[in-house]
Copies of this chain bind each other. A is one copy, B any other.
Amino acid sequence: MTQDPPAHRAPVHSATPARRPTLRDVALLAGVSTKTASRVVNGEAGVAAAKVAAVQQAVGKLGYRPNFTASSLRRLKGRTAAIAAVLEDVSNPFSSALHRALEDVARDRGVMIFAGSVDEDPERERALIHAFIARQADAIVVVAASDSQRYLAGEVNAGTPVVFVDRPPVGIDVDAVLVDNHAGAAEAVHHLVAHGHRAIAYLGDLLSIATARQRFQGFKEALSDHGIRPSPDHIAHDLHTEGDAQRAVRRLFSGQAPPTALFTAQNLVTIGAVRALRELGRHHEVALVGFDDFPLADLLQPPVTVIAQDPSTMGRLAASLIFRRLDGEQWTPTVHFVPTRMVARGSGEIPGPYATA
Contact = CB atoms under 8 A, between A and B. Distances in A.
Contacts of A275: 299
Interface string A132-164: 111110000000000000000111011100000
A117 B99 CA distance: 10
A31 interface: no
Contacts of A113: 114-116
Contacts of A70: 73, 78
- Total copies of the chain: 2
Contact of A300 (B1, B13, B96, B296): B296
Contacts of A96: 90-92, 96
A177 to B, nearest CB: 18
A281 to B, nearest CB: 14
B117 A100 contact: yes
A82 interface: yes
A231 interface: no
Contact of A69 (B73, B117, B159, B299): B73
Contacts of A73: 69-70, 73
Nearest to A12: B157
Interface residues of A, number: 63
A82 B84 CA distance: 13
Nearest to A159: B17
A282 interface: no
A82 B135 contact: yes
Contact of A80 (B65, B135, B158, B274): B135
A201 B339 CA distance: 43
A33 interface: no
Contact of A157 (B17, B110, B299): B17
A97 interface: yes
Given A12-B153, A65-B133, A70-B73, A112 B114 contact: yes
A333 interface: no
B100 A90 contact: yes
Nearest to A13: B157
A67 B157 contact: no
A229 interface: no
Interface in A287-303: 294-296, 299-301
Given A18-B159, A301-B301, 12 more contacts: A17-B157, A17-B159, A67-B78, A68-B136, A69-B72, A82-B114, A90-B96, A91-B100, A112-B135, A113-B115, A278-B299, A295-B295
21 contacts: A11-B154, A12-B154, A12-B157, A13-B157, A17-B157, A18-B157, A63-B154, A68-B131, A68-B134, A69-B69, A69-B72, A69-B78, A73-B73, A90-B96, A91-B99, A96-B96, A112-B116, A114-B114, A295-B295, A296-B296, A296-B299
